[in-house]
Amino acid sequence: MAEVKNFATVFSKEDQRKLGKQIIERFEMNARSRSRRIAKVREIYSHITLETKTKSMPWNGCANIRTPLLAAPWLQSSSRLLDMLLQQSGRIASVFSPSDFHAADAALAERYFNYYLQFEMHELEFSTDATVGQSVAVGSSFMRTYYDDVDERTRSDWIPLEDFVAPAKARSQDPSMRDLDEYSMVRRISLHRIARHKDSAAWINND
């Protein structure tokens, strides 16, 4: 059997439309089921970022004073966790040898692995920072490490809470989320990037 680079290509155009419609409907239903949670998350972020809004009470245009009671501890906690995960020494990951015979190979693998994390995965620092900050703020966070078929390299991207949708009552104990019946992840891809890679087998219906 020939290798299939994009699973969607095995379906007819009509089946693709039906599946696409079902996916969007399930996504919107699951998004509605957790709307109260997302509203609470936005409220927390408004306090952390000291968001100001125009006030009309007790009079129109009165002062809107916000104090950084949450911002300071949030910044301190998330920054310290980030320093623990991405150490300034450059040793982010460790590779241990099962025996003295493989010690040299393990040391070489560790050096290359840390080099790749720092200099080839350009978005790693931002993604880790955003993931840690979101986890400290609201208790939930997602980051996806995967091989990008289009860019042909390994990426590690932070996923905003609004872009990773599962039913409100769903619970997972598996980092890969395999124990969930369903979940959706929104991929925000620019039209420029789609046009630049329109001949890639990773995407279809690019026109």
Residue 195: partners with Cβ closer than 8 Å, 6 or more residues away: 206
pTM of the model: 0.73
Tell me the pairing of strands 164-165 and 142-148. Answer: unpaired
HSE, CB side, 13 Å, CA atoms: give it for residue 41. 16
**Model confidence pLDDT, tens digit, residues 162-191:** 888 988 888 888 877 888 888 888 888 888
Tens-place pLDDT, residues 1-57: 456 667 778 888 899 889 889 989 999 999 999 999 899 888 888 888 888 777 777
DSSP secondary structure of 68-114: -TTHHHHHHHHHHHHHHHS-TTS-------SSGGGHHHHHHHHHHHH
